[in-house]
Chains A and B, each alone.
Chain A
Amino acid sequence: MDTTKRLVGLMKPYKWRIAMAMLLQLVVIASRMIAPLIQKSIVNDVIPHQDLDRLLPLCGGLMALVLMRAVCTYRRGLTLEKVSQNVVYDLRTGLYRHMQELPYQFYDKHRIGEIMSRMTGDIEGIRNLIAGGLVSVFDNLLNFVGALIFLTFLSWQLMLALLISAPILAYTAWQFRKRIHPAFVNIREQNAVLNTRTTENLAGMRVVKAFAREPYEFEQFEKDNRKLLKLNLKATWIWSDFVPLMELLSGLCYPVMLIAGAVLIFYNKMDIGTLVAVNGYVWLITNPMRQLANLVNMVTNAVTSAEKLFYYADFGAAIKEKPQAVEPKEFKGKVEFDHVNFAYGDTEVLHDISFTAEPGQTIAVMGATGAGKSTLTLLMGRFYDVSGGSVRVDGVDVRDQKLAPLRSHIGYVPQETFLFSDSLFENIRFGRPDADAARVENAADVAQATEFIDAMPDGYETVVGERGMGLSGGQKQRTAIARAVLIDPTILVMDDSTSAVDMETEYVIQQKLKKVLAGRTTFIIAHRISSVKNADQILVMKDGAIAERGTHKELLAKKGIYYQMVQDQYRDLKNVQGQEVTANG
């Protein structure tokens, strides 16, 4: 049980506090055991002889006992909560830090929802175990054993009579758990279904309305909603089959106690005060049995949660700087790919890629979806590590470089734009949080974003992202371009980043970029010939390898894949202009 060991390891720094809490709990349990004895004494010694002198000390003793118990319970709770909060804090921040170091592979493989449920639900499971579970196990165990011992001394016959209930109750509680658990799983799943259904309905509302499918949507929703109702009621049925039954079984302990007690009393084997005291222990015997199933469940859940969390913590190949990592003397923007291979698990994505980009050059990468174009550019910032060959930026293998300086010289405009729920202003200066307004506005101007930003209700202060104003695809892309331009990168990567921008605007952006980023190395991934034809080098990728390379003119002369693309794309223009277009400017 490696996981259990590691789980214990998490609590190790706090072992003295945990021991302290257990000690306090011991006092609580002891006081719980002694209280019925005081009652016994009142009933047996004080009442029959009206021995009022002893009443006051007994009452005072009871009060003192409970005060002590209250203080210990309180302290114990605070101590364990503090421990659990600290463990959770360590776990959460530790994992967060770790996630920041994970390579893109991790995010390709795991959905955000899944990671979120690890970071919330599973961590909560561990918190629960430490704050409540541990002490509960300890508490219930000692209560049960302690009550048995005290009962044995009071009347072993009654103890045996009451003990009969224990296995029955434990078995019932166990059965209950076994039946209710899958019912709850079903409910959770159906809830998720309903959630997805509603989310999609809202996201696709335009399609729903366009096809006038509201009644159909409602029907589907109603079906899922009714199914959820049915599942909920099924859980209720199971609950109502078991919980009142357990209540009944615990309750029947009292008649059992009475019958056994009556026999003993009539045979003078026991006195009435003892019976009253025994009454005070019944609950201590029945309750642990009812809790048993829950406790087992809580512990196993926490272990499963821990297992999943440790899987994340162990997610290998985290890209880390070497201790002796260096920085290039000067970032000029020279990029060399030297027989680079890259495999994704068992699938080879890039095969034997070699090329050199001189500072200031524009490199265009073309090819069908899934040809490995984005991966290629991401190797430069070492978001993935190559599986063979090497990538050098300004003469130094990226694996030997310090990560932060390397990455902060590369401006990425990714294929899918992600904007944070913050103002446009903050989003644009994301890479340089100290940039001033002039710099932000300048970057926005280059990206042709000024016009739409000015038209927004709050201008640059408009909050965008998931929780803010919805931007159109083109507006998002222009914001992302501004964000990359602002960091004044040595190498700029435009990954199909003007796909949602109309051609006229794209043209202007390219003109402006050329001026602002004169002398910088630029990588352009695009489908439109018009976007790539002026590049110094065009790489045409096919199945992870470079199929053709050269300038626009060279590639046209080759009459290969590139030539075919040009023919296809300019067919349009030929038709429009009604004349032959050679497309070689």
Chain B
Amino acid sequence: MAKVLKQIDDEALERPFDKGQFIRLIRYLGPYKKNIAIALVLMICATLCSLASTFLLSNAIEELQIRRGTYLPWLIGAMVATSVIGALCTRYRVRLMDTSGRSALAKLREDLFRHIQGLSFSFFDTRSAGKILVRVINDVNSLNDLFTNGIVNVLVDCMTLVLLMVIMLAVNWKLTLISMCIMPLLILILFKLKRQMRLRWQRVRVKTSSMNGYLHESLAGMRVTEAFVREDENFDTFKNVNDDIRSTWMRAIQINNAFWPALDITGTIGTVLVYYFGVRMMGLEHNPLSLANLLLILWYLGRFWEPLNTLSNFYNSILSAMASVERIFEIMDTQSDIQDKPEAKDLPPIEGRVDFEHVDFWYSPDKVVLKDLSFSVKPGQTIALVGPTGAGKSTVVNLISRFYDVCGGSVKVDGHDVRDVKLRSLREQMSVMMQDSFIFSGTIMDNIRYGKLDATDEEVIAAAKAVSAHDFIMGMEKGYQTEVNERGSSLSVGQKQLISFARALLNDPKILILDEATSSIDTHTELLIQKALDVLLKGRTSFVIAHRLSTIRSADCIMVIQDKNIAEKGTHEELIRLEGGHYKALCDAQYRFLLEDN
């Protein structure tokens, strides 16, 4: 299980800037252009207020120094005014930007989710649900900062830098140039040191998330670990991982903690330079430097690092945003291989006739699953599919509901090629039940109603009664309102199956596809399921991948799928007489198992 440690986060954390993708992303902000423009103005306004406030303070102090009170009330009044205006601007800027950015992201997330809904099984076959989830949730979330703050901040920060420079140069260009000596140091800290910091923290994050993965799996498998006495090995692994995290963390901290002290030192060098030369300039006979200007340059110099810092953060966040963006668009660019044709029509209400005409199918060309398969099924017939595991029984039924497309030949429902009709209209007229009946979290009522969203409570209950699920449901604490879910639910395998039967019955399909579960179920529930099946299969074309002898026997036609095609076909009585046939062998094996002393 140490593999978990290596597997996690094999995904790129950063990607180089890609203009095309960036523009595609930014387009989501398009509808909020006006909001963003106003926010930008507000933000510029707030910045000006804040710069002005420092300017006013330095001048007020100068007024006091020369003991002149004329302008003082005005200066103080202006300071109060700029503070208030600045606060108001910030308040509305944040609201506007957050609304725009978050709405745009919500839209992006919805687009992604909708797109995923349209993808076919081959997409889900090759990707774990966990990885898809991360894209819908985490990758989209990680763009939040960029959308709500990043872009506007960068514009304003560039402007702030220019303004600072211009004002300082105007006030005293000599002193300003001298003070600019700290710039290279500042840039080194903010870009080089920051970059190192970031890389080291990334390492910590990767290690931490693998530790969490390991921990999660450890806990989930703790019963197995205890049963097989593997505690010591696992503990050693866990300890090593923690050792590793601790040292990685300390390596990150070594740089991380240098950041503020380095900034502090740099700032002080600037201060000292300004004092050292500034004070001399104040003593000049010709055009001396005023106290107000000395203080102004001093304070403005202290404001340089902030915009530079956001710029460097922005650069870093762009790199990681690009990685998220790439993953998001990768999914959005995946085209479903099963799509409605542009000229596809709704499938009219069907009777339930199914024809396979020379069907070929493979997942990859070197592993052909079905070859030249042809058969036809009349409305209302029950077909039992039997055969060895992996022979393609599930594939046959998956082709009917067009979860996959044939590679050759065609599948027709009531004479319509399934590829020529709208998917929705096709699937709405059939029900597919998988081996593991999936239960959504919600009430039992909701779970059954999934088969027909506008069904009334009475209809739901009637369906449950028909498949003999009513009694056990009523036996639960809150009856139909009992909350259930997939994990940790109080439902047994058999009960889940009955619920999914009710769901299918409510849907009232013309074609029913059933992958019969092999699970052994306690005898009572087993009987209920048998009864429910009789109700369910009546009057519908049904394909059953069958394990129960009773289902197989009562089928109108049994098809043995073997070696890429139908090996045997007929009723139970016909097939049982085929000496050396697969079906006979299968029955014999079951009888032997059931009856023989072994």
Contact = CB atoms under 8 A, between A and B. Distances in A.
A9 to B, nearest CB: 20
B113 A218 contact: yes
Interface in B502-552: 503, 507, 517-524, 526-527, 547-550
Interface string A465-498: 1110000111000000001000100000000101
B174 interface: no
Nearest to A407: B229
Contacts, number: 414
Interface in A250-294: 251-252, 254-255, 258-259, 261-262, 265-266, 272, 275-276, 279
Chain B binding surface, main DSSP class: helix
A572 interface: yes
Given A116-B212, A408-B229, A431-B229, A233 B492 contact: no
Contacts of A583: 594-595
A581 B591 CA distance: 11
A310 B562 CA distance: 60
A52 interface: yes
Main secondary structure of the interface of A (DSSP, over half): helix
Nearest to A257: B57
A78 B254 contact: yes
Nearest to A406: B229
Interface in B231-279: 231, 233-235, 238-239, 242-243, 246, 249-250, 253-254, 257-258, 260-262, 264-265, 268-269, 271-272, 275-276, 279
Contacts of B225: 100
A244 B91 contact: yes
Nearest to B258: A74
A183 interface: no
A96 B283 CA distance: 70
A104 interface: yes
Interface in A516-547: 526-531, 534
A63 B272 contact: yes
A222 B523 contact: no
B64 A265 contact: yes
A1 B219 CA distance: 31
B87 A195 contact: no
B67 interface: yes
Contacts of B228: 407-408, 412, 430-431, 483, 487
A276 B53 contact: no
A50 B280 CA distance: 7
A115 B219 contact: yes
A236 B431 contact: no
Contacts of B459: none
B226 interface: yes
Interface stretch (B30-38, B123-131, B181-189): B123-131
B268 A225 contact: no
B345 interface: no
Contacts of A63: 268-269, 272
Given A420-B221, A483-B228, A506-B593, A100 B133 contact: no
A203 interface: yes
B282 A50 contact: yes
Contacts of A52: 279-280, 283
Interface string B447-476: 000110100000000000000000000000
B109 interface: yes
Interface string B102-135: 1100100110011011100100100011101100
Contact of B64 (A50, A88, A239, A261): A261
B196 interface: no
Interface in A446-479: 452, 455, 463, 465-467, 472-474
Interface stretch (A41-49, A151-159, A329-337): A41-49
Given A229-B102, A463-B3, A199 B129 contact: yes
Contact of A70 (B261, B450, B519): B261
Contacts of B8: 467
Given A244-B87, A431-B230, A258 B57 contact: yes
A196 B441 CA distance: 9
A507 B431 contact: no
A575 interface: yes
A206 B213 CA distance: 27
B224 A430 contact: yes
B20 interface: no
A225 B106 contact: yes
A119 interface: yes
A5 interface: no
Interface stretch (A141-149, A349-357, A421-429): A421-429
Nearest to B120: A209
B331 interface: no
B520 A496 contact: yes
Given A202-B124, A202-B129, A239 B94 contact: yes
Interface string A374-409: 000000010100000000000000000001100110
Given A100-B231, A225-B106, A502-B547, A81 B249 contact: yes
A266 B89 CA distance: 35
B406 interface: no
Given A254-B57, A502-B547, A572-B550, A74 B591 contact: no
A539 to B, nearest CB: 15
A307 B253 CA distance: 28
B110 A225 contact: yes
A195 B129 CA distance: 12
Interface residues of A, number: 162
B230 A418 contact: no
Nearest to A507: B593
Interface stretch (A171-179, A298-306, A340-348, A563-571): A563-571
A522 to B, nearest CB: 13
Interface stretch (B161-169, B308-316, B368-376, B422-430): B422-430
A96 B598 contact: no
Q: In the complex, which of the residues B80, B137, B223, B521 has the most CB atoms of chain A within 10 Å of its own CB atom?
A: B223
A262 B219 CA distance: 67
Given A42-B279, A504-B590, A194 B137 contact: yes
A67 B265 contact: yes
A82, A209, A483 — which one has the most chain B CB atoms within 10 A of its CB? A209
B222 interface: yes
A417 B59 CA distance: 77
B424 A212 contact: yes
B24 interface: no
Contacts of B229: 403-404, 407-408, 431
A209 B403 contact: yes
B177 interface: no
B390 interface: yes
Interface stretch (B319-327, B348-356, B411-419, B432-440): B432-440
A169 B87 CA distance: 15
B114 to A, nearest CB: 5
B224 A572 contact: no
B252 to A, nearest CB: 9
A200 B130 contact: no
B222 A276 contact: no
B553 interface: yes
A452 to B, nearest CB: 8
A423 B265 CA distance: 54
B486 A275 contact: no
A412 B227 contact: yes
A69 interface: yes
B589 A503 contact: yes
19 contacts: A50-B279, A73-B261, A82-B250, A85-B250, A100-B235, A119-B215, A202-B116, A202-B129, A210-B432, A211-B451, A233-B99, A236-B98, A239-B94, A262-B64, A410-B227, A418-B221, A430-B228, A527-B522, A572-B549
Given A89-B242, A92-B242, A99-B219, 15 more contacts: A69-B261, A93-B242, A119-B215, A211-B507, A221-B113, A240-B94, A248-B87, A275-B64, A420-B4, A431-B228, A500-B517, A504-B590, A568-B523, A575-B553, A577-B591
Query: 8 tightest CB-CB pairs across the interface, nearest first?
Result: A70-B261, A210-B432, A431-B228, A420-B1, A77-B257, A212-B427, A248-B87, A50-B283
